[in-house]
């Protein structure tokens, strides 16, 4: 079954090729007839277009010779030179003679543009597709070149063409800018310094409160000096105050050391956290 299917596919391909060729010949013959009629009526612009199309579909010295004759009669420099380049493929005497006449008459009046791309590109000059690397005949002056090099906006250039000269252009994609290196942090975030300030502030506040509470308890004991519970409470409050005083001093020293030797205050402030003091202690985001 697989062999039969393959045979049918090959047969279909074989049938399509002649049909396609016949279609090209039909269209070429129709284009040639239109071009010949235009030539006879003196419409050389239409004659050049139709006869050139006929030669593109089915290369023919007859169509090419009449296309060259039409371009020369109509005084079309660029069409004449392009057809003369196409005539290099044939040794037909009439075509060769007409191509030589076209070059003699127009080669010094026109210039050429060649655009080469690094990688794939799509080109158009004055709205006409341009094959990369091909020498395109153009009249002297400024022309619009559009270049699509892929992953970047379309470039619009205006090369200036000089008569008798070849203008070469090399296009390359714009280099991709390297990604910036991440900023290197040389120390801790300033957030930690402000955490230390917050802790020190809370400890200092607690120490002040404890000191005031100790004084109040001492005053209560001094009124009687006989209540052992008041004496014990006062001693506990005094111990607590001394401990808090030590904690406050330690926090202050540690915070100062962080600020002087460890914290990098040049780090991006947008990446710093936030800190606030609440009744429950120090809170923050990092």
DSSP label of 261: I
| Strands annotated E in the chain | 111-117, 122-125, 128-130, 135-138, 141-142, 145-148, 155-157, 160-161, 166-171, 274-278, 281-285
Q: Does 183 score more than 50 pLDDT?
A: yes
Q: Does 170 score more than 70 pLDDT?
A: yes
Q: Which of 78, 107, 136 is the last residue of a domain?
A: 107
Which domain range does residue 64 map to? 22-107
Note the pLDDT of residue 19: 59
97 and 136 inside one domain = no
Global confidence as pTM: 0.55
118 and 56 inside one domain = no
Q: What CATH number does the domain containing 86 carry?
A: 1.25.40
Identify which has the larger pLDDT, 210 or 116: 116
With respect to residue 36, please indicate whether it lies within any of the assigned structural domains: yes
Handedness of CA 218, 219, 222, 228 (dihedral sign): negative
Q: Which of 174, 205, 224 is the last residue of a domain?
A: 174
Report how many domains make up the chain. Answer: 3
89 and 114 inside one domain = no
Q: How confident is the model at residue 91 (pLDDT cuts 50, 70, 90)?
A: very high
115 and 100 inside one domain = no
209 and 267 inside one domain = yes
Q: What CATH number does the domain containing 115 carry?
A: 2.60.40.1120
29 and 99 inside one domain = yes
47 and 117 inside one domain = no
Q: Using one digit for the tens of pLDDT, what is the confidence trace for 2-12? A: 434 334 333 44
**CB neighbour list of residue 216: distance below 8 Å, 6 or more residues apart:** none
Q: Using one digit for the tens of pLDDT, what is the confidence trace for 254-272? A: 878 767 777 666 654 444 4
């Amino acid at each position: 079954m697989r062999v039969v299917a393959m045979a049918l596919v090959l047969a279909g391909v074989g049938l399509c090729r002649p049909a396609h060729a016949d279609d090209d010949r039909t269209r070429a013959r129709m284009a040639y007839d239109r071009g010949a009629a235009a030539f006879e009526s003196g419409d050389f612009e239409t004659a050049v277009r139709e006869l050139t199309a006929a030669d593109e579909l089915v290369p023919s010295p007859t169509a090419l010779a009449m296309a060259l004759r039409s371009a020369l009669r109509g005084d079309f420099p660029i069409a004449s030179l392009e057809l003369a380049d196409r005539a290099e493929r044939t040794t037909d005497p009439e075509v060769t003679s007409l191509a030589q006449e076209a070059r003699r008459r127009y080669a010094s009046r026109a210039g050429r543009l060649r655009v080469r791309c690094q990688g794939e590109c799509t080109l158009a000059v004055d709205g006409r597709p341009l094959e990369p690397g091909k020498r395109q005949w153009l009249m002297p002056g400024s022309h619009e070149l559009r270049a699509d090099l892929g992953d970047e906006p379309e470039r619009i250039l205006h090369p200036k063409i000089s008569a008798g000269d070849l203008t070469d252009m090399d296009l390359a994609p714009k280099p991709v800018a390297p990604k910036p290196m991440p900023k290197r942090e040389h120390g801790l975030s300033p957030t930690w310094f402000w955490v230390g300030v917050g802790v020190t502030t809370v400890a200092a506040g607690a120490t002040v409160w404890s000191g005031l509470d100790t004084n109040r308890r001492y005053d209560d004991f001094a009124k009687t000096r006989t209540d052992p519970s008041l004496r014990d409470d006062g001693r506990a409050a005094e111990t607590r105050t001394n401990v808090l005083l030590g904690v406050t001093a330690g926090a202050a020293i540690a915070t100062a050391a962080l600020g002087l030797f460890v914290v990098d205050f040049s780090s991006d402030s947008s990446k710093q956290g936030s800190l606030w003091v609440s009744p429950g202690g120090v809170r923050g985001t990092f």
